[in-house]
Amino acid sequence: MKKSIPILLGTLLSTGFSHAYAEALDMSKKDNLEMCVEYFSEPSEEIKQAYFKELDHRGQLSYQDHSRLPKGEVGPSSTMCGMYMAKGKPLEEHSRQIRPMTFKSVHIYPDMYYVIQSGMIVEGYERKEGVMPPKLTIEQPAVQPPPVLYGGSKHP
C-alpha cells in the first residue's frame, strides 16, 4: 500500500502538470511544420490534442487527416503535415518546382515513398529492394521532333 500511494500521486501530478503545460504552451510562436513534426514524438496526449486543435485551426489538416491520423495512416488527399504527424520525419526528401508556385516532393520512409504536390499526398508507393523512387520530372530528349509532322499527306 505504501508504494502504490506515491505512484498514484505521481501519476495524478504528472497528468495535471501535462494538462496545465498543454494549456500554457504558447503556440502562436510555433511554426506549422515544427508542430507537425513534434506531434509524432510527443508523449503527452494532452499536448498532442492541443497541437491537433491548433493545426486544424490554422487549416493545415484535411478531412482525410481527421479520419486517418488516429490510426497512424496516410494516403492520397492527406496533407504533408498529417504525414509528419502520423509517420514522423522522413529518411530523405527531394523537391522540385514544376510550375510557378507548384512544388512536387518525394518523401522517403523505411516502408513507403510518398509523392506530394503542393502540400497534399498524390501517390504512395511501397518501397521494394532494387526499385527506384518515383521521378520528380520526366526527362526530355535534347532535340524533340516538331509538334506537327510534315509530309506523308497530300492536300487537295
Q: To 10 degrees, the CA torsion angle through 141, 144, 145, 148?
A: 130
Contacts with 85 (C-beta within 8 Å, 6 or more apart), sequence order: 36, 39, 40, 51, 52, 55, 65, 69
Q: Report pTM.
A: 0.71
Quick: pLDDT tens for 56-81: 999 999 999 999 999 999 999 999 99
Quick: pLDDT tens for 10-48: 444 444 444 444 455 677 888 999 999 999 999 999 999
Is residue 83 scored above 80 in pLDDT?
Answer: yes
DSSP-H helix ranges across the chain: 4-24, 32-41, 45-57, 63-68, 80-87
Asked if residue 112 lies in contact with residue 127, where contact means CB atoms within 8 angstroms, the answer is yes
Domain boundaries, the chain: 31-126
pLDDT at 25: 67
Query: What is the rounded end-to-end Cα distance, in angstroms, of the chain?
Result: 104
